[in-house]
Every structure is written in C-alpha cells, then in structure tokens.
Structure 1
Amino acid sequence: MMQLEPDFRGRFAEPPSFEQMLSLEGEVFRELAGRRTLRFFLGEKGYFAKLHFGVGWKEILKNLSHFKLPVLGADNERRAIRRCEELGVETMRIAGYGCRGWNPARIQSFLVTEELADTISLEDLCRDWKTNPPPFGLKKALIEKVAGMAAALHENGVNHRDFYICHFLLPLADLERVSRQEAFRLHLIDLHRVQLRPRTPQRWIVKDVAGLYFSSMDIGLTRRDILRFMRAYRRRALRSLLQDERVFWERVERRALALYRKEFGRDPASNPSLGR
C-alpha cells in the first residue's frame, strides 16, 4: 500500500512508484542497518523521509530476547503521529506513507513528513539559561506546555522512549507569543520508538519523565520551576502531590541521575530534588 497527500504527490512530474520513494536522495541525517533518515526538497519545500528496508531476523530476535517488541518499519511512527493528532499534541505532518511485504524481517516501508522549518529545539533555546536567565513568562509558559503535552501522552497510553528537550521544536514565529503567555505551538518529534497502549505502564512513564529531567539538568532550573512542572503535569495541588507521589518522583530522580552519570561520568553541578 502507498498513500501520498495530494500536495506532496503533485510536486512530482508523475505519481512516484514505491521504488522511487525508497530511492529518495538528500542530506542523510541517520543511517543504520536497514534504516535511513534524510532531508530532501521538492521545489523550495523541505521534507524528511524515514526509509526502512527490513530489520532482519537478528534484530527481531535481539529485541525479543530483551522482552521488547521490535520496530519493524515506518508504521509505528505513522500511528504515533496520528495518535498525537487525536490528543492535540503538536507533531509532524505526514506527506506520504507506504508499506509492502509480509515477512516481518523484510518489510519495506517509508514515511515522509513535512519539514518543520524555522524552528528551534528547546535544547538550543535553553542552552544558556543558566548564565542568561530568560524572562519569567517565557520559562513558565514552556514548562507548563511541556508538562501538558507529557500528561496528554501518558494519560492516554502513549510513551515516547526518547523524551528529551531536544525533541521539542518551537517555531521561531511563536517565540514572542510564548513570552506573552499566549497560545503557541510546540512540536514533538522523533516518534520512531513510541509505544501505544490502552494504558501506559508506570515504568515507562518514569522513563519518559526522567528523560525530560535529565535533559534539562544543566539549563538552570530552580526548585520552583521543578514544582511548577510537577503541578502542571499532575494537575494537582502541590501539597497532596508531594505527600501521595513521593515514591514516584524519587524514582524519576534516581533514573535521571543515572542517565546523567552514564552520559557525563559525574553528578550534575546542581539539581533541585523532586521527591522532597
């Protein structure tokens, strides 16, 4: 099967074949065994393509031996994008999708999304906050926005698995709206490993929230900032939240610290505690 949005299909001289889609060329961002991610242009419009050529039985068996379901192709990310759209979580816009084959190890597929041009990741936006603090309104709005997006996912059976601030993209055109605490867009990307279930298991919620905390440990967040996130994420009064969920937040903190030590070989210079 192959589905192309009319605007995307119309940018080709003739409707492209499945083989043409798998042979797209452009700036390669990531290339692994059986998978390639690249950016290409049709006219002046940019797109990202995730091309899957089959994971092979070795990869499938390796995942199963670790009690993990393998990601066999682009369909997982396609379904994740559609679920985010249903939940009102801004993400990428699909331009085209295709899948063929029945052998799990040799399924071929592709997913094309429109490029999110003129955006900045939260990692880049917040990089110098520690030495050059942002306006209060901007920081508050971003913290509450991220918390709301996380809550929408976790409360509806979705977990990201790579939930870091680098995967949130803010349109530059919306930057002033953030400072004024007006409605703004924030796009969640890199949904390749997203898991979809009727209900999100606690361990995966801990992993996602720990990923957020780990990736923001060096941007100068204060204890009040952390509490603001916790309150917006749980939508509960802080007093009852700290009393009833201390164990959860301590688990998040331990996992985040373990990630930081693994990445940098040391403890962070400072990090506000979550569980106390």
Structure 2
Amino acid sequence: MEAGQGAYVVVGDMTMAREYAGAFQRAGLTSLDAFLRHSASQSLGKPGLPSWRERVRVELDGTGGGERVVYVKRFRRPPIGAQWGRVVQGVVRHGTAWIEWHWMRRLAADGIATATPVAFGERMRGAREEASVLVSAAVPGVSLESWVRDRTSRCPRVLVTQLAEFVGRFHGRGYVHRDLYLSHVFFDERSGELRLIDLQRVMRPRWRRVRWQIKDLAALDYSTPRSAATSTDRVRFLRRYLGLRRLGESGRRLVRRVRAKSMNIARHDQRRRARLFVERVN
C-alpha cells in the first residue's frame, strides 16, 4: 500500500517508514553505513548475482515482543557498466536502490500490489553511486514458482484467471517488468492476493511497448511448468489477459509471438546455466 503523507521520516541519511523507525533504531540501524555493515540473519545470494549486489533477510524486534522480517538489498560501488546503464535510463541523481524504491511506490499508487518499501538510503558523488540500500517488508505468501512446484495438479482455473487479470492491469497501466517469471509473483493463499516483486528493471516504455509486453508474457510462459498449465490453460490465460471471449487473428498472432519468445528464453537460459556450471567447476 502506498504510504500517505507523513508516513516516512528521515533518520540520519536514511528515509524510513514511521512505523518501522523504532524497530530500526532498537537494532542500531540508523544510518546507511549501519545497514551496509549489519550482520544479517540470512544471506540470500544466488548463482550469477554480482559481488556488488547483496540480498539479506533481517529479523527485527517489534513492539510488544513481536518479530518483524525485512529484506535488505545492498549495493556497494557498482561497476562502471552498471553506473552507465542507470544513467542511460535517466536516473542520474540517484543510485540503484532508488530505482526499485521509486517503482514500489509508483505501482502501489496505481493499484498494483507489490512489496512495501520501509527504508532507503544512498551515497552519491555527483552521478556516481558509492552505495545504496533498499529495505522492504516481508511479502505474505510464497512465490508462484514455489507454489506450483509443491503441487501435483494443475493450477486452478480461478488462479489462471486472476494472474491474467493482474498482469493485464499491470500492462494496462503502461508498465513492463522485464523479468516477469513466476518467481517474481507472490501468492498469498489465505487472502488470494498476488503481489509483484523485484522491480529493479520495471519501466514505462514510450515506444515498442508491445515488444516488452510479449517478453513479460513469454517469461511467465517459460517459467510455468507443463505439469502446472496445459496448452489450453495458456490460451485461456491470454484470452483473459486480452479481455476476449475468443481469440481472433490478432490474438492467435500474439499466441505465436509469445511461444516463439518463450523458446528463445529457454535457449538463452540453457546457455546461462551451462556458463554458470563451467564457472563453478573451474
């Protein structure tokens, strides 16, 4: 949910959600350096993650003896290529963490559920980023990737419909994700709510928008196991996404383009996995 006016406070060189400020202060997390140095409860590294990027899970003491879990993304001295890529995107005065901080708040304001940003800080030298930190509240539920992996049956039709409407609303607002795999969509089975996470590459393209939308749809298609969704389910998803009762020629063309892009993603992922395997062996 988008925080309203007064929901954030400035503590040192960090901006914090007011409701989390007390827990951060009790943990000694009152500056950018404190967040960068903090010994995390759990490191969430993954293969291929560059050394200048780090994801950690931190447990905070809440009021009344409760516990709050937050996830911290830390960026230290991004290499020149990453710095240049940020500037090319038009983000000159802010660092890497600010990008996702911005999109979290922007999407929430547009009615797209995502993780709640609770703290942000950065150190810039002109356009050069030295360090930045983004902290978000734990998202309820699990990723759809985990959810479908733990099931032995197909996804319920109601969930296929819900996901199609969710992605359709996201694209309908003009956004594209560019990493829209099942691992980046969280599902809370208790509330039935979907949330979009990892917004680092989100953008609102002014041109060639359909190209990026097809990439998003293909990423979902590729990351959905065949055991979880049949070809019929996938066509049903696209029909609902388009808001059509049946696909015309333009809809069938979209199906072909999504399938072709999905196969391209599969080939690229195979090459990436092979490269990572060789790096680990060597």
Q: Same fold (TM over 0.5)?
A: yes
Counterpart among 128, 150, 153 of residue 133 in structure 1:
153
Structure 2, gaps ≥5 residues long? 1-12, 62-66, 272-282
Deviation track 1:190-249 (CA, whole Å, cap 9, x = no partner) reads: 1122123456722211111100011114334223312221121111231xx331233332
Structure 2 residue 261 is the aligned partner of structure 1 residue 246: no
Q: Retained in 2: the 8 A contact 1:159–1:208?
A: yes
Counterpart among 14, 19, 35 of residue 7 in structure 1:
19
Deviation track 1:57-87 (CA, whole Å, cap 9, x = no partner) reads: 24345x49xx974984111111111122122
Q: Retained in 1: the 8 A contact 2:164–2:237?
A: yes
Counterpart among 121, 126, 134 of residue 103 in structure 1:
126
Q: Residue 71 of structure 2 aligns to a residue in which SS?
A: strand
C-alpha distance in 1, partners of 2:150/2:56? 29
Deviation track 1:4-40 (CA, whole Å, cap 9, x = no partner) reads: 0122110123671222122222112135232211111
Q: Summarize the alignment of residues 186-225 of structure 1 with structure 2, pairs less than 5 Å apart.
A: 186-197=194-205, 201-225=209-233
Q: Retained in 1: the 8 A contact 2:117–2:135?
A: yes
Counterpart among 113, 117, 123 of residue 145 in structure 2:
123
Q: Count the aligned residue pairs.
A: 245
Q: Residue 206 of structure 1 aligns to a residue in which SS?
A: helix
2:10 match: none
Q: Considering only aligned residues, what root-mean-square deviation do their CA atoms show, in Å?
A: 2.7
Structure 2 residue 69 is the aligned partner of structure 1 residue 46: yes
C-alpha distance in 2, partners of 1:255/1:54? 34
Query: Which amino acid in 1 is paired with 2:19?
Result: D
Counterpart among 3, 8, 18 of residue 32 in structure 2:
18
C-alpha distance in 1, partners of 2:263/2:205? 28
Q: After TM superposition, what 4+ stretches of structure 1 lie above 6 angstroms from structure 2? A: none
2:262 match: 256
Q: Residue 127 of structure 2 aligns to a residue in which SS?
A: coil
Q: Retained in 2: the 8 A contact 1:25–1:38?
A: no
2:234 match: 226
Structure 2 residue 48 is the aligned partner of structure 1 residue 33: no
**CA-CA distance at 1:154 after TM superposition:** 1.5
Cα distance change of structure 1 residues 73 and 193 upon mapping to structure 2, 3 Å threshold: same
Q: Normalization by structure 1: what TM-score?
A: 0.78
**CA-CA distance at 1:114 after TM superposition:** 0.8
Q: Retained in 2: the 8 A contact 1:158–1:199?
A: no
Deviation track 1:104-129 (CA, whole Å, cap 9, x = no partner) reads: 33242211011125x22211221265
**CA-CA distance at 1:42 after TM superposition:** 0.9
2:99 match: 76
Structure 1, gaps ≥5 residues long? 175-183, 266-276
**% identical aligned pairs:** 24
Q: Residue 96 of structure 2 aligns to a residue in which SS?
A: coil
Q: Retained in 1: the 8 A contact 2:57–2:69?
A: yes
C-alpha distance in 1, partners of 2:227/2:127? 42
Query: Which amino acid in 1 is paired with 2:20?
Result: F
Cα distance change of structure 1 residues 264 and 108 upon mapping to structure 2, 3 Å threshold: closer
1:159 match: 176
Q: Residue 245 of structure 1 aligns to a residue in which SS?
A: helix
C-alpha distance in 1, partners of 2:182/2:29? 38
Query: Which amino acid in 1 is paired with 2:145?
Result: E
Q: Summarize the alignment of residues 81-100 of structure 1 with structure 2, pairs less than 5 Å apart.
A: 81-100=104-123
